[in-house]
Structure 1
Amino acid sequence: MRSEPEGRSHPVDVDPITSGVRRTLLRTSDDVRIEAIYQPGRGLRGGPERSRTPAIVVAHGFTGSADRPAVRRAAAAFAAHAAVVTFSFRGHGRSGGRSTVGDREVLDLAAAVEWARALGHDRVATVGFSMGGSVALRHAALYSAARGGRTEARTDAVASVSAPARWYYRGTPQMRRVHWVISRPLGRAVGRYGLRTRIERRDWDPVPLSPVEAVPLIAPTPLLIVHGDRDPYFPLDHPRSLAAAGPAELWLEPGMGHAENAAPGPLLERLAGWLADRAAPSDGS
């Protein structure tokens, strides 16, 4: 399983729903079909206005999907500030393939960013939760200008919520259960039939760039790290390590648990404002 950027991705089918909302299947550069949903920002009409309106691409956590209530709640909050693209990672929801638990998922996020730009948005921000947070960090690093990433797949601002700093962490009971689901045949069966998540059985080869290794490669793209002080999966040394690894803003949220399911409404509003502000075009553009 390799996660280096490669090739291009494009929509293979687009289904208009209502009021500008679209559901599509994207094809990633490694030929996996990914379901995605686009909703324009409130009051957005298209044309030149759309090009100047930023889009926020939302990357969910492990076992999530574009249609999960917590993801839809976040998308609704973000839509007050920007257009929103949500999608299901490979192996999740109606997407094809199998989950590589943060490795090749960077290609899924890249496809979603490219779709947002193809829909007319010149500025695109990304936000990820838990596994999606680690993917957002690695995507921002791997597709940076310094690494020669394709312009249409780059992000203009990135926020990572409840993400791990390093791989193979087993320091909490919750993460020991996650590793059982990922690494054991019975666990993967539970993932498939109980959690509706299809998991790749092969080990990483090579081991992908870790989130904390990715952070120094993201600058000058604005970076925000968000973490709850009651996160039962990853303790506070994870966000602190990420923030210390490179230029980043750090929000430690009192009383918050883990990822999109625990993100309170006021935090989502603040997060949307931060992303839209950092991704907004400058006055001279």
Structure 2
Amino acid sequence: MRRLLRTVDGVSIDAAYDPGTRPSGDLAIVVAHGFTGDLGRPHVRRAAGVLGRNAAVVTFSFRGHGASGGRSTVGDREVHDLAAAVAWARELGHARVATVGFSMGGSVVLRHAALHRAAGSEHAGRTEAHVDAVVSVSAPARWYYRGTAPMRRVHWLVTRPVGRAVGRYGLRTRIHHREWDPVPASPVESVPLIAPTPLLIVHGDQDGYFPVDHPRMLAEASGDHAELWLEHGMGHAENAAEDELLARIGDWVAAHAG
């Protein structure tokens, strides 16, 4: 099933729904891809297919990616895109909804869970965009990180006009030219607000973008609430996540969501 969703700030988001191959009925997993990905990319489809062994799966393209509207804000307003996808999963009848995010998507699922957990607590109830479990894979802990060559290339892509042109025409990613104002809460600032929602942090010890101090910072910020998997030999995000790891993530979600 394919559908165009509308975010609270008016951006159209291309989304797809798959009931899964062995669904547990009331559980859905919303997959949040990494920067320059989209719901049609082979690595995103593969991840969704493996996770679909445990649950129904919603995939979507972040703003500025694929067939979605708008321009990428590289992790800021993307929380609205994820909220729209989670709300759609609830609309489809799923009582339990978990998010699994990779790289930029990994930072977004953390910020989204913190925002909607806080909103639900403030109003003595949970919003339709709240989640029952969160998995963050290969996410940064802090913003503006330039400590690796791949991240220096990402910053060039985002901050330079010629880089944004490469993103648009070479990577099918339309990037907003404005800087963040205000700067959103970082992933490490968001993590403490997620509890008691179950949280799994997954990271490869060979990640070329974010070294292992990032997942360790996130786990420490959780106050021992989060579970941390440091995967031996794994690189970065969806492309590096083997089917066996994705299957373990799916099993963890099925056991911890709700």
Same fold? TM cut 0.5: yes
Alignment correspondent of 1:36: 15
Q: RMSD in angstroms over aligned alpha carbons?
A: 1.1
- In the TM superposition, 1:121-140 aligns within 5 A as 121-140=94-113
The letter of the residue matching 1:203 is: E
Alignment correspondent of 1:151: 127
Pair 1:26 & 2:5 matched: yes
In 2: Cα distance, 1:154 partner to 1:64 partner: 24
In 1: Cα distance, 2:128 partner to 2:155 partner: 34
In 2: Cα distance, 1:231 partner to 1:108 partner: 26
- In the TM superposition, 1:1-285 aligns within 5 A as 22-44=1-23, 50=25, 53-144=26-117, 145-148=120-123, 151-246=127-222, 247-280=225-258
Residue deviations 1:31-81 (CA, integer Å, cap 9, x gap)? 10000010002255xxxx74xx20000000000000100111011101110
Structure 1 residues 147 and 173: alpha-carbon distance in aligned structure 2, compared to 1, 3 A threshold: farther
In 2: Cα distance, 1:177 partner to 1:147 partner: 40
3-state DSSP of counterpart to 1:25: strand
Does the CA contact (< 8 Å) of 1:56 and 1:276 recur in 2? no
How far 1:146 moved relative to its partner?
2.7
3-state DSSP of counterpart to 1:38: strand
Q: Which runs of 4+ in 1 moved over 2 A?
A: 145-150
For structure 2, the 5+ residue unaligned runs are none
Does the CA contact (< 8 Å) of 2:22 and 2:55 recur in 1? no
In 2: Cα distance, 1:230 partner to 1:272 partner: 22
Residue deviations 1:129-162 (CA, integer Å, cap 9, x gap)? 0000000000000000235485210010000000
3-state DSSP of counterpart to 1:152: coil
The letter of the residue matching 2:171 is: L
Question: TM-score, normalised to structure 2's length?
Answer: 0.96
Structure 1 residues 147 and 226: alpha-carbon distance in aligned structure 2, compared to 1, 3 A threshold: farther
In 1: Cα distance, 2:187 partner to 2:122 partner: 16
Aligned-residue sequence identity (percent) comes to 72
The letter of the residue matching 1:263 is: A
Structure 1 residues 259 and 147: alpha-carbon distance in aligned structure 2, compared to 1, 3 A threshold: farther
In 2: Cα distance, 1:226 partner to 1:192 partner: 30
